[in-house]
Amino acid sequence: MQFMLLFSRQGKLRLQKWYVSLSDREKKKITREIVQTILARKPKMCSFHEWRDLKIVYKRYASLYFCCAIEDQENELITLEVIHRYVELLDKYFGSVCELDIIFNFEKAYFILDEFLLEGEVQETSKKNVLKAIEQADLLQEEAETPRSVLEEIGLT
Amino acid sequence: MSDIVEKTLTALPGLFLQNQSVGGPAGVKTSFSSRLGGLVRGITALTSKHEEEKLIQQELSNLKATVSAPTTTLRMMKECMVRLIYCEMLGYDASFGYIHAIKLAQQGNLLEKRVGYLAVSLFLHENHELLLLLVNTVVKDLQSTNLVEVCMALTIVSQIFPREMIPAVLPLIEDKLQHSKEIIRRKAVLALYKFHLIAPNQVQHIHIKFRKALCDRDVGVMAASLHIYFRMIKENSSGYKDLTGSFVTILKQVVGGKLPVDFNYHSVPAPWIQIQLLRILGLLGKDDQRTSELMYDVLDESLRRAELNHNVTYAILFECVHTVYSIYPKSELLEKAAKCIGKFVLSPKINLKYLGLKALTYVIQQDPTLALQHQMTIIECLDHPDPIIKRETLELLYRITNAQNITVIVQKMLEYLHQSKEEYIIVNLVGKIADILVLNTVDTYAPDNAWFIQTMNAVFSVGGDVMHPDIPNNFMRLLAEGFDDETEDQQLRLYAVQSYLTLLDVENVFYPQKFLQVMSWVLGEYYYLLDKDTPEEVLTKLYKLLMNDSVSSETKAWLIAAVTKLTSQAHSSNIVERLIQEFTISLDTCMRQHAFELKHLRENVELMKSLLPVDKSCEDMVVDASLSFLDGFVAEELSQGAAPYKPHHQRQEEKLSQEKVLNFEPYGLSFSSSGFTGRQSPAGISLGSDISGNSAETGMKETNSLKLEGIKKLWGKEGYLPKKEGKTGDETEALPVPQESIIMENVDQAVTKKDQCQVLTQSKEEKEKQLLASSLFVGLGSESTINLLGKADTVSHKFRRKPKVKETKSGETTSAHSMTCSYFSSSSNATYEDDYYLDALQDRGDKELNKFSLNSELLDSESLTELPSVEKLSNCKLSSSPSLFTDNNMEGFHPSQSTAPSVAPETSLASSLLEETSEHMHSELVEVCHNETISVSSYKIWKDDCLFIVWSVSNKSGLELKSANLEIAPAENFKVRQ
């Protein structure tokens, strides 16, 4: 996978993750182009779109578009399932997720994504394991508010 | 996820408060994160882009002040970082915060560190200089006893890490491969995967450790190692063949549902792992029968197990089909995979249909019958409202292009081309059309000159500015080199010239620069074909273009080159004079140079003519590179005591040996520089000054021809062959009726379409589609008739008729003369064969197999002495023909139009033919019939898969034959015209 973009129906970017090294200007240009073309597509159309030499795989969940750019030899259908699994994870974590959860807690959405995908590849395919990793980190975060010694105890276990 | 409640942004403030009161992770918010909320709400409330910009700029300046203030605590910094990330996401520059993100990752507690690392991964790119500052933090965290810190460090390493600093962390990460926690092991493997991607040689020594990861008891670690193996096997599959067994075993376990239920996805066992394994197997089994045999079982099981109830099973199935077609083929599996493709293609779901087309595209060359089975679906997809489906269909058609369907396919591609605006698509499509046209020779694929030139005109007009430079170069090369038939070539060139003159007549049309360049080259080279006294007309047009400001200076150089060439044919022209006046004072030095060259050349007409010969663009110019004409001068100077010339490298060597110093420079360098300095030698200068016009012209001429050189030679004398399969155009004409029946039958074969089609054939629209189908799949049709037959009898002999008409032409060509010799009888075995062929097309099945053997027996048993009597049954009409059909290509199923006049006597011709085919069983040459001017003889060659009947027609008179018309009765069944 080359990159992942989340944007709203209004075309506002909600999340971006790049797995290829590009300049900021290039990223902005790509984002603008893709958001425009995907928003212009009709609902009954194919979930795949050719863009330059890449395939854009996208799916709309309520008001949010999730879209991934993959290379031609990759499997489009499984990429759709990657998106779906990510939405499932968000849903489980936030509890009936909506766009607002992602707007206000986008750093959490990033944390979840980083536990699920790394370097454009699926890191962990078990939903339970991903959530466990996130919860573990969250738990420690809360502990971090309390004195350091307690934290170190947990860290040592 | 359809149950997600869509909440509109207008309800935002209320919802936000609600959110805060909700428990769980979502509700955990510090007072600081509400600042982000405030920012978000502030932005949402705005109405214009301008206001947003103002607000964010203000926010950014506040943030800038906060982050650089010494009083800011790390906790506040974390909050600022989140807001910075948000601003960056909206497209504003927050680069002042990058250094603070690194600081936060370094100094913060867990909570702050996490945000710091996130900000770093989002802000910085791989080569960012600040990244080096992160290395120490990462090293420290990797050594931490806190699991979460180690996890964070490993995560950031897998996302972004400076390549040159890998050695600093590599030993630490290697250690983590033995860690007791599976999450650490998994992340360590992924970090190594990242290193393998950015610096493969750095992790080469730990390949053995990857094997351990592959055998890890934790599924997640094993799955992570598959990413590395996929990459490594992709680069070098031969090194990992021994692992095939392991991958097969793992896949068997996964498919068999042996993994923990956690890894199921919608009750499908570990789909991601399955797909990754299938991809690896596909790479391992490619062109390797022994390895492929190991995986047949598990692939069969995967195909069987995939119950089609969810998208994800389709994803697995698609990958499985891909693997089955990439490894060493096994017919049983291929059949099943083909059925699966059918499920995709015929699916009402558009995503699956798209993938079905994609699958067809890559299997089409292996199995053309699949395209026939789904031809109606393909036709429907061609007019699909979704452009991506259309494009994939065109891609599919592009791969099945042949001589019969080229016009239809190219027309469809042009239609799409005119609609599309995206540059990438235009470049791609233009490349494909040009590929079909220019790489395949005109006389085999394109129906006629006019079509060829017009299609190329369309291609140049649309894609001229963006197309690959090879396309115009190949096109000009094609025109220049031509084919075997010189008259045909001249007609093509003439047509091109006429067509460009018409195009240039149109007012206010701007053609792309590349198109203008092609035009000017063609006009310059081939205008003489028009046989006009003066090129005044075309010079006017070129002059107009030269004065046009929108024409680039590169194109102007092409234009003036064309003018120069034309001037050499008719030098007295007012326009040329005006042009010279105009451009000798031009500010463009290049143009001024060209104008002066033209001016001087005009003064020496003889020189000009020898420099710019007519129609010699393919021939090399002889350049006296040794400058032998200066020999006398050199000898004279030498005799007067001048030092002899030493090449540069010799001088340098002498200098070095004198100085007695080691030469630290690589020796190659001194040699390459010798050529360079050679140009500065006195001789070179004198050449330039003596005959400046001459040498410059030569240079120009050379560049013209040079542009055509160095391009891959993609068509041979016989034409571009790779796609030359199936039968010839003659046979298509010959068999119009059976062609229809093939299509009808194929449609019937599509299982689900069976009934539908018969009903729909009545409707007009359907008829149109049928017609389109017949024109698109025509080439495949005939070939696959045999293939379809092959299903009943896989070793059935292909009986194809290959007419070989040879004709000896007398040296002198006299006035046109046509004649008809009727009542020529053709050999009866042709009739037999034709009958068989038609029968085979009309009814297939076991019955026809019997008939087939019967026929072949007949053919075989037929003795030559019987031949003449049977021949009388059929009759053959024969007129004469202008061109010689000397088909010396045994594989091509059509006579190529060559002009090589073979004046050899009949007998030697026959003997040469016999020689050519001596390795196959063949009959004696039998004279079928003759009169005083023409004699026809025939003989048969039996080959493994087909029977050739060769007719030689020889002309005994000294007259040129006008046209040959060969008819075999019963004429309604079979007809060959040439």
DSSP symbols for A61-80:
ETTEEEEEEE-TTS-HHHHH
Predicted local confidence at residue B224, as pLDDT: 92
Indicate the number of domains in chain A. 1
The alpha-carbon gap from B156 to the nearest alpha carbon of chain A, in Å, equals 9
Phi, psi of B622 (to 5 degrees): -90, 115
- Say how far apart CA B879 and CA B860 lie, in whole Å: 31
Selection from A3, A27, A8 nearest residue A99 by Cα: A8
Partner B contacted by A26 (CB < 8 A): no
Please compute, for residue B192, the number of CA atoms within 13 A of its CA located in the half-sphere on the CB side.
32
pLDDT at B794: 31
Residues 81..120 of A with a Cβ closer than 8 Å to B: which? 81, 84-85, 87-88, 91, 93-101, 103-108, 110-111, 114, 118-119
Tell the burial category of B35 from Cβ atoms under 10 Å away from its Cβ (0-12, 13-18, 19+).
Answer: middle
Say which residue, B125 or B606, is predicted with more confidence. B125
Q: Does any CB of chain B come closer than 8 Å to the CB of residue A36? A: no
| Local structure of residue B811 (DSSP, 8 states) | S
> In this structure, is residue A157 part of a structural domain?
no
DSSP B571: -
State the nearest Cα–Cα gap between A1 and chain B, in angstroms: 13
Distance CA B840, CA B844 (A): 6
A72 domain residue, yes or no: yes
B617 or B368, which is more confident: B368
Confidence of residue B836 (pLDDT cuts 50, 70, 90): very low
pLDDT in tens, B604-644: 777 777 777 776 666 666 667 777 778 888 888 888 888 88
In a domain, A154, yes or no: no
Report which of residues B739 and A60 the model is more confident about. A60
Q: How large a percentage of chain B has pLDDT more than 70?
A: 62
How many CB pairs lie under 8 A apart between chains A and B?
213
The residue of chain B nearest to residue A28, with distances taken between CA atoms, is: B91
Which residues are CB-neighbours of B152 under 8 A, at least 6 positions away?
A137, B113, B114, B117, B141
Domain ranges of chain B: 485-611
Q: List the one residue out of B975, B972, B728, B955 whose CA is nearest residue B876.
A: B975
Answer yes or no: is A155 within a domain: no
Q: What value of ipTM does the predicted structure carry?
A: 0.89
pLDDT tens digits, one per residue of A56-97: 999 999 889 999 999 988 899 999 999 999 999 999 898 888
Phi, psi for residue B499 in degrees, rounded to 5? -65, -40
Question: Which of B218, B272, B279, B314 best probes binding to A when mutated, by most A CB atoms within 10 angstroms?
Answer: B272
Alpha-carbon distance of B301 to B252, in angstroms, equals 8
Q: Which of A3-12, B55-64, B742-751, B755-764 has the lowest mean pLDDT?
A: B742-751
Closest CB from B28, B110, B151 relative to A144: B110
Q: Which residues face B725 on adjacent strands? A: none
Best of A59, A106, A107, A130 to disrupt the B interface (most B CBs within 10 Å) is: A107
Mean pLDDT value across residues B50-70 = 85
Cα B122 from Cα B83, distance rounded (Å) = 13
Contact between chains at A81 and B265 (C-beta distance less than 8 A): yes
- Are the C-beta atoms of B535 and B524 separated by less than 8 Å? no
For the segment B240-253, the average pLDDT, to the nearest whole number, is: 92
| Higher pLDDT, residue B470 or A140 | B470
Q: In this predicted structure, what is the pLDDT of residue B699?
A: 39
pLDDT tens for B845-888 read 444 444 444 444 444 444 333 444 334 333 333 333 333 333 33
* pTM (two decimals): 0.65
- Containing B915, the helix (H) or strand (E) segment is helix B906-916
What is the spatial distance between Cα A142 and Cα B56, in angstroms, rounded to a whole number? 31
Check if A9 contacts B (Cβ < 8 Å): no
Would you call A137 and B148 a contact, using CB atoms and an 8 Å cutoff? yes
Tell me if B897 sits within 8 A of B481, measured CB to CB.
no
Query: What per-residue confidence (pLDDT) applies to B767?
Result: 75
User: What is the DSSP code (8-state) at residue B945?
Assistant: S
Of B707, B691, B693, B692, the residue nearest B525 (C-alpha): B707
Calculate the CA B182 to chain-centre distance.
45
Ramachandran angles phi, psi of B117, nearest 5°:
-65, -40
Give Dmax (Cα) for chain B: 115
| Alpha carbons B304 and B297: distance in angstroms, whole number | 11
Query: B22 and A95: CB-CB below 8 Å?
Result: yes
What lies within 8 Å, CB to CB, of B690 at 6+ separation is: none
Q: What is the pLDDT of residues B153-188, one digit of tens each?
A: 999 999 998 888 899 999 999 999 988 888 999 999
Can you tell me the distance from the alpha carbon of B262 to that of B917, in angstroms, rounded to the nearest whole number? 68
Q: What does DSSP say about strands B965-968 and B821-824: parallel, antiparallel, or unpaired?
A: unpaired
> For residue B227, which residues of chain A lie inside 8 Å, CB to CB?
121
**Which of B463, B587, B478 lies closest to B526, judged by CA?**
B478
- In sequence order, which ranges of B509-573 are alpha helices (DSSP H)? 513-526, 536-546, 553-569
Q: Is residue A114 part of a domain?
A: yes
With an 8 Å Cβ cutoff, are A94 and B26 in contact?
Answer: yes
Q: Which residue(s) pair with B265 in the sheet?
A: B268
Residue bearing the bigger pLDDT, B761 or B223: B223
Distance in angstroms (rounded) separating the CA atoms of residues B644 and B654 = 14
Q: Are B818 and B965 in contact (CB under 8 A)?
A: no
| A32 has a pLDDT exceeding 60 | yes
At residue B628, the pLDDT reads 78
Q: Inform me whether the pLDDT recorded for B373 exceeds 90.
A: no
pLDDT at B962 over 80: no
Question: How far, in Å, CA of B926 to CA of B951, rounded?
Answer: 9
Decide: B243 and B225 in contact? Cβ < 8 Å.
no
Would the pLDDT of A5 be above 90? Answer: yes
Name which of B40, B190, B318 is nearest A77 (Cβ-Cβ). B318
Rounded to a whole number of angstroms, the distance from the CA of B220 to the nearest CA of chain A is 6
Q: Which two tokens stand for residue A155?
A: 């860290």
DSSP string of B690-749, one letter each residue:
HTHHHHHHHHHHHHHHHHHTTS----BTTB--TT--S--HHHHHH-HHHHHHHHHHHHHH
Summarize pLDDT for B644-689 with one digit per residue, the tens: 888 888 888 877 776 655 556 555 444 433 434 334 434 333 333 3
Is the pLDDT at B466 greater than 60? The verdict is yes
Stretch B59-68: mean pLDDT, rounded?
A: 86
Distance (Å, whole) CA B964 – CA B884: 10
DSSP letter (8 states) at residue A101 = H
B726 conformational bin, left if phi > 0, alpha if psi -120 to 50, beta if neither:
left
Count of other CB atoms within 10 angstroms of residue B268: 21
* Residue type at position B970: P
In a domain, A111, yes or no: yes
Pairing of strands B947-955, B804-808: parallel
Spatial CA neighbour of A16 closest among B90, B439, B234, B405? B90
Whole-angstrom distance, CA of residue A102 vs CA of residue B157: 25
| The two structure tokens encoding residue B749 | 């074969």
Nearest CA in chain B to A142: B111
Shortest alpha-carbon distance between residue B302 and chain A (Å): 16
Boundaries of domain holding A86: 3-147
Element (H, E) at B975: strand B975-977
C-alpha span between B171 and B308 (Å, rounded): 46
Nearest residue, CB atoms, A81 vs list B85, B262, B315: B315
Confidence of residue B834 (pLDDT cuts 50, 70, 90): very low
- Asked if B807 and B935 touch (Cβ cutoff 8 Å), the reply is no
Bigger pLDDT: B28 vs B612: B612
Does the structure show a pLDDT above 90 at B347? Answer: no
B77 pLDDT exceeds 50?
Answer: yes
pLDDT band at B726, cuts 50/70/90?
very low
Across all residues in chain B, what is the average pLDDT? 70
pLDDT digits (tens, 9 = 90+) for B270-318: 899 999 999 999 999 988 889 999 999 999 988 887 776 788 899 999 9
Q: Which of B104-118, B426-440, B899-913 has the lowest mean pLDDT?
A: B899-913
For B346-422, where are the alpha helices, taking DSSP H only?
Answer: 350-363, 369-373, 375-382, 387-399, 406-419
Q: Bridge-partner residues for A121, per DSSP?
A: A118
Report the CATH number at residue A132.
3.30.450.60
- How many helices (H) and strands (E) chain A has is answered by 6, 7
pLDDT at B358 > cutoff 80: yes
Give chain A positions within 8 Å (CB) of B16: 100, 104
Neighbours of B915 (CB within 10 A): 9
Which residue in A77, A78, A125 is closest to B263 by CB distance? A125
Please check the confidence at residue B570 and state whether its pLDDT lies above 50.
Answer: yes
Closest CB to A105: pick one of B26, B223, B263: B26
- Helices (DSSP H) in B721-845: which residue ranges? 729-734, 736-749, 754-760, 764-776, 778-792, 828-842
CB distance B4–A62 less than 8 Å? Answer: yes
Q: Which residue of B has its CA nearest to A101?
A: B26
> Using omega within 30 degrees of 0 as the cis cutoff, is the peptide bond preceding B736 cis?
no
Residue type, A108: K
> pLDDT at residue B902 above 50?
no
Please indicate whether, in this complex, the C-beta atoms of A13 and B147 are within 8 angstroms of each other. no
Residue the block writes with tokens 């405030």: B38
User: A96 and B147 in contact by Cβ < 8 A?
Assistant: no
pLDDT bucket at B571, cuts 50 / 70 / 90: low
Question: How far lies A4's CA from each of A8, A81, A98, A105, A114, in Å?
Answer: 14, 14, 18, 17, 12
The dihedrals phi and psi of B537, each to the nearest 5 degrees, come to -60, -50
What would the two tokens of residue B729 be? 């155009």
Return the amino acid letter for B565. Answer: K
Take residue A28 and report the two structure tokens written for it: 């902005």
Q: Which residue has the higher pLDDT, B480 or B811?
A: B480
**Measured distance CA(B766)–CA(B757) in Å, rounded:** 8
Average the pLDDT over B527-531 and give the result: 79
Reported as a pLDDT band with limits 50, 70 and 90, residue B973 is: very low
